[in-house]
Chains A and B, each alone.
Chain A
């Protein structure tokens, strides 16, 4: 049909093309749709269908077996608004995000500045700072569970304290934050390092000629040039931290932590879905998390568009 017209960006075929059966067969698959089709089969099955299904399930009392499902309207949502555990677990995830994001951004930036400005053994600093990121979350969880043991863990041994990190409410979340910082800071560190290497050298050379000291160069060249990457690191960290699950549950053996102080939101949805078998309710509360994540993502896009407009003005 219109396959020849679909050439799009490319100039259309010349008449010299042979019209053998094979060429005709080949031409049938020139349509751009064939290129995106394999992706959309998987994307449809494992993203679009679950999204639609989740939305549908959230209006039902479905259990894990999928049998005897009844439509319950907005009951799940009404229940979620009154559910103390929804509120508490959501607060724990938000609390974790508020603690961990600033710490990671600042540490990553400091590490990048150090690794960038040191002339010797750069590969070694890069290796040390990034290596923990390569560990599976379960290993990180087990490791810090061990390191935070009150009487024979490394943390108290090094500090000379006897804090029961994992069994008292006041330090339980802090322990997860420390473990997460150690584990994931390497990724943001690499992003900052790449951004530092992208800053044109001539800016520094010109500033030096003008007599700017190293602090002035840092404040007036480095920091402004890192604004975009900081926005990216912040956004990625906020989105990842709101979805915290792995290391938190492994450090507390899939439990809710001391006085239920570390049960995260994802953990609560999975408890509802897979422990209480309330698939309908779990889908409804997942939607709350999705709305928050979508708000953050769209908010960032909106901010970026604002900035692009400012740049072109």
Chain B
């Protein structure tokens, strides 16, 4: 900080920095290579894709992208994914922030028991609960419905726990002042607490959206109907059953994967903070 401005250009490109940057660049290339290969494959003709492997397509063609988009399934699955992920994110934010606030700021009989039950829920996942969860959803008549896909993803104990910890760390003074002025808990929650919680809420929201957009296991269990499938499980089950056309498979994969990557490029710092925040809360 006290370094004179003149020294700055010399001090940033030290030999150590050059070496580190080269290592970072090499590692980044390795990490990008699979995506580059997918893009290259998707721009080849089906025949060229299975000839001897090479990076640059001989005749560049968007034929596979067009085929995938025209087949109708993928745009349809895209919309399904969007509907499911947006609903899940909205419901999780609402339900988890209410519960987190209830646990952090109110006292009522049975609270310790409910809190312990929530904590126990951190150990259950759809992978462990899969079969009985399916029969439960089946008896509610929700198999092959949007609700059946959405609602079981909306009871995340982990998110309640993260927000509970966050609300506990908020100073109480503002809420107390509003309470003395006669505001009820709900008014306080929506007009004071929630606006103060934007970083935490966006972390939970972003994380929930990513998890839900990429969720494969649950939609795979709960629906066989190609019209209701989300992008990940449509791609894995229906698209593969048509017979393998590698360029189309890669084009479909990129269409499913790119939206979140583009979003990441624009909201990088928020997402990084969000992941760090939700992850670190478990520490």
Contacts and interface: CB of A to CB of B under 8 A. Distances in A.
Contact of A127 (B37, B123, B137, B268): B268
A245 interface: yes
Contacts of A48: 117
A230 B265 CA distance: 27
In terms of DSSP, what is the predominant structure of the interface of chain B?
A: helix
A191 B128 CA distance: 26
A238 B265 CA distance: 29
B151 A36 contact: no
B6 interface: no
A142 B121 CA distance: 32
**Interface residues of chain A: helix, strand, loop or mixed (majority):** helix
B53 to A, nearest CB: 4
Interface stretch (A74-82, A84-92, A149-157, A164-172): A149-157
A191 B280 contact: yes
A177 to B, nearest CB: 15
Contact of B108 (A6, A17, A245): A6
Interface in A215-264: 228-229, 232, 235-236, 243, 245-246, 250, 253
B131 A286 contact: yes
A101 interface: no
Given A136-B231, A139-B257, A194-B276, A270 B130 contact: yes
A120 B94 CA distance: 40
A229 B257 CA distance: 29
B35 to A, nearest CB: 7
A36 B132 contact: no
Given A236-B279, A282-B131, A32 B102 contact: yes
Interface of B: 12, 17, 20-21, 23-24, 27-28, 31-35, 37-38, 41, 49-54, 91, 94-96, 98-99, 101-103, 105-108, 110-111, 114, 117-118, 121-125, 127-140, 151-152, 154-155, 157, 160, 172, 175-176, 179-180, 182, 184-186, 189, 210, 213-214, 216-217, 221, 231-233, 235-236, 240, 246, 249-250, 253-254, 256-257, 260-261, 264-265, 268, 272-273, 275-276, 279-280, 282-283
Q: Closest 10 interchain pairs by CB?
A: A32-B106, A35-B102, A54-B132, A194-B276, A8-B107, A138-B236, A39-B99, A136-B232, A128-B28, A273-B131
15 contacts: A29-B184, A30-B184, A38-B99, A39-B118, A43-B121, A47-B124, A47-B155, A50-B136, A57-B132, A66-B135, A132-B35, A139-B253, A142-B236, A279-B132, A283-B132
